[in-house]
Structure 1
Amino acid sequence: MLPILRSRQLAQRCLTQNKRLLTPYSFATDRHGSMLNRASPPPIQVLLTESAGRGVFATRKIESGELIHTAKPVVSHPLLSSIDKVCYYCLKNTPKGSNFEAQKVLFCSEECREQAKGFYEVEKEADWSAFIAHCRTRSLKYPFLAKRLACMVISGVTSADSLNVFQPALLSPQIISQYPYLPKQNSVTNDISQMEEELDLLRCALEGSGMKTEHLSFLTIEWYTGVLSRIRINAFRIELAGGSSYEDLLTSAYASVESEASVGNAVYMLPSFYNHDCDPNTHIVWVENVDAKLKALRDIEKGEELRICYIDASMDHDARQNILSSGFGFKCSCPRCLSND
């Protein structure tokens, strides 16, 4: 466990800044998932660590199998391959031809269609064919999250700086170099050029729908690259496991993040503060829809840091180090990696 910084004032500033965003996402439950008290906060707190930025720590002993809290996404979007199979809002598996079908997307309920109304009213007026073709050709997924976020900003659902709380604050050359479709020999300048192309396609689609220029003033290359950098580091692959018991979910806690069950991607507030460990004590699961559930994999003592695994934990030491270094920008020094396991 990483030591906590003694400067509680700095940690408190961080928590105060994000208090409004953190509190709606969580509740405390017993190990069977029954709610203990609707007014009870989750048994965790966000503090600063010496070397890993923010971290999540237990405020009491947490039992193995306990549902620690749930979290709704800040922004989410289904994969192109799942667009006709899942709810366009909550990503729940939805039979095609649902009564709540709307044009080319599906909604699992009237509630979800109403929740999506803000951004979808903006989105459905635009012709996204060029943007989609660009992303499909290059096998891109994160620009769709940026597109939805832009529509949420325009509709007033969120603010243009809503992801600024996340790291990284700047788009570094290392992060740019991970842009998935670019050959390794391409320069950072060319990488930025590709993102400028995406931004142009995004703006053109919105402008073509009759959107006023003043409503699109936030769509700058600085905004777009900043949003992509934060999405790139903080997005989770949504892998639904509907119908499974929590006990079954725990047995598959170390399954690959490249599972075929993936239906979309999402960025969350509180789960993004969890640091990585190759032998985690906490796991994030999706049972029915995009709402994330954080569960304890083993008993966690009061004051212990809660950590999840960002990658496929079954890989060997060198493979894990390579992926974490190239994909997330850090060298893992968890006990398992230190023992060369």
Structure 2
Amino acid sequence: MSPVGLSCYSRWLSRFKTIYSQSTVVSFSSTATTTAPPNENETPLSRPAPPPIRVALTESAGRGVFATRRIGAGDTIHSAKPLVSHPSLAAINTVCYFCLKKIQTFSGSQRQGVSLCCEKCKESSKVFYDVEKRADWLDFDDYCRTEGMKYPLLVKRLACMVISGAAQANIVDILQPASLTQEMILKMEEGFCLLQCAFSKANIRKEHTSFLTKQWYTAVLARIRINAFRIDLAGGVYEDLLSLAAASVEAESAVGNAIYMLPSFYNHDCDPNTHIIWIENADAKLKALHDIEEGSSLLLLEELWLTLLLAPQNHTKGILNS
């Protein structure tokens, strides 16, 4: 790592320890707005406030997220539910197939080898699972496992959601795409063919899969590659977010991947002012690492930098080559 990178890490680590070494418990609350009609017994003060942020174009990094007022250190900026999520193949038997919450016992609802943690997740999973269970995914999953790929699983789930009518085929078009080389595109073709073949063998009507072209698959995967978050569960409310991050990496608590709308607009920096965490499931919480002044750009730490910072030294080379 370069001296500049080490300097950035040092500043970030010091700030992380200073802000979250206090003994107070951080409480989490949703700041999402609602479109439901106001309750006649609800007062303006009891309604959730909109997030103190706006999305705007930056001078050099495309879209970004900016504070619309001063945000205090440790404040929850907003929460976000995933547009699409999927457990990792390694964790598929130990987490909820919908929300990615860890399942200690298999007392929840089970469907053909996958587990749902509660009736709510069982009902919610119908947006993709009623379509997914009709197909044989053995070859597709083997392809992802053999090639070490995780993002095609998100494309599969999104495709099932589109077929079921729960999502529009262009739902992720607003997200920034990654630049793909011809070699990368050629490598994606195998996954596309396996996905298309699975639906075809399941006798899903062609009018329901007309969106599923090679161009659609490649475009979606290009956006997922640059916007997906690896889900590391904290397993409880942590007072120290540095301990939270360290525990996530050391316990190999990554349970899956997800894409979000608003968090995808955040830019990344080696000296961030914002942190994203997952307490029990794929619902993300974004918190301020330190005081953020009105008009400031909100910045997240690059996932790879966090992994390098916290990973054991003998694993660093493998991380860089992955």
TM category (shorter chain) comes to: 0.7 to 0.9
Once the two structures are TM-superposed, the CA of residue 34 in structure 1 deviates from its matched residue by: 4.8
Matched positions, count? 276
For structure 2, the residue ranges without an aligned partner over 5 or more in a row are 1-24, 31-44, 310-320
Equivalent in the alignment of 2:39: none
Decide which of 27, 40, 43 is 1:32's aligned counterpart: 27
1:267 and 2:276 matched? no
Decide which of 291, 294, 297 is 2:289's aligned counterpart: 297
Is the 2:135–2:198 Cα contact (8 Å) retained in structure 1? yes
Once the two structures are TM-superposed, the CA of residue 219 in structure 1 deviates from its matched residue by: 1.0
Equivalent in the alignment of 1:248: 240
Indicate the percent of aligned positions where both proteins have the same amino acid.
Answer: 57
Higher relative contact order (CA closer than 8 Å, sequence separation 6+): 2
User: What is the CA–CA distance in structure 1 between the aligned matches of 2:62 and 2:247, rounded to whole Å?
Assistant: 27
**Secondary structure of the structure 2 residue equivalent to 1:131:** helix
**Secondary structure of the structure 2 residue equivalent to 1:70:** strand
Is the 2:234–2:244 Cα contact (8 Å) retained in structure 1? no
Decide which of 106, 131, 137 is 1:128's aligned counterpart: 137
Equivalent in the alignment of 2:173: 164
Decide which of 249, 272, 276 is 2:268's aligned counterpart: 276
Once the two structures are TM-superposed, the CA of residue 138 in structure 1 deviates from its matched residue by: 0.9
Q: Deviations over 1:144-197 (max 9, x none)?
A: 0000000000001111111100012x7432xxxxxxxxxxxxxx25x4333222
Is the 1:31–1:64 Cα contact (8 Å) retained in structure 2? no
User: What is the CA–CA distance in structure 2 between the aligned matches of 1:139 and 1:166, rounded to whole Å?
Assistant: 24
Question: CA 1:315–1:151 in structure 2 vs 1: closer, same or farther (change >3 Å)?
Answer: closer
**Secondary structure of the structure 2 residue equivalent to 1:82:** coil
77-86 or 32-41: bigger deviation: 32-41
Equivalent in the alignment of 2:66: 57
TM-score of the superposed pair, with normalisation by structure 2: 0.79
TM-score of the superposed pair, with normalisation by structure 1: 0.75
**Mapping 1:1-341, distance limit 5 Å:** 32-34=27-29, 37-168=46-177, 171-173=179-181, 188-189=182-183, 191-245=184-238, 247-253=239-245, 260-311=252-303, 312-313=305-306
User: What is the CA–CA distance in structure 2 between the aligned matches of 1:259 and 1:236, rounded to whole Å?
Assistant: 18
**Secondary structure of the structure 1 residue equivalent to 2:255:** strand
Is the 2:233–2:281 Cα contact (8 Å) retained in structure 1? yes
Is the 1:279–1:313 Cα contact (8 Å) retained in structure 2? no
Once the two structures are TM-superposed, the CA of residue 60 in structure 1 deviates from its matched residue by: 1.1
Once the two structures are TM-superposed, the CA of residue 279 in structure 1 deviates from its matched residue by: 1.1
Once the two structures are TM-superposed, the CA of residue 62 in structure 1 deviates from its matched residue by: 0.8
Once the two structures are TM-superposed, the CA of residue 33 in structure 1 deviates from its matched residue by: 2.8
For structure 1, the residue ranges without an aligned partner over 5 or more in a row are 1-29, 174-187, 317-325, 328-341
Is the 2:229–2:257 Cα contact (8 Å) retained in structure 1? yes
User: What is the CA–CA distance in structure 2 between the aligned matches of 1:34 and 1:201, rounded to whole Å?
Assistant: 42
Equivalent in the alignment of 1:337: none
RMSD after superposition = 2.7
